[in-house]
Amino acid sequence: MTLTLTPLISLIAGLLILFVPSLLRLIVAIYLIAIGVIGLFGLSF
């Protein structure tokens, strides 16, 4: 079974937002930065 990084990040971010709603802005910012870096450098995990 192979996991890619993007769905894993999404799952973790979603769970954190669900349990700690005050972290929403921080989690969204980190998620967007991570996706941007992955997209720019074409990293495949």
Look up residue 29 and give its two tokens.
Answer: 């910012």
Check residue 3 and give its pLDDT. 59
Cα–Cα distance measured from residue 33 to residue 20, given in angstroms and rounded to the nearest whole number: 20
The predicted model scores a pTM of 0.55
Neighbours of 3 (CB within 10 A): 9
Look up residue 7 and give its two tokens.
Answer: 């769905």
Ranges under pLDDT 70 in the chain? 1-3, 43-45
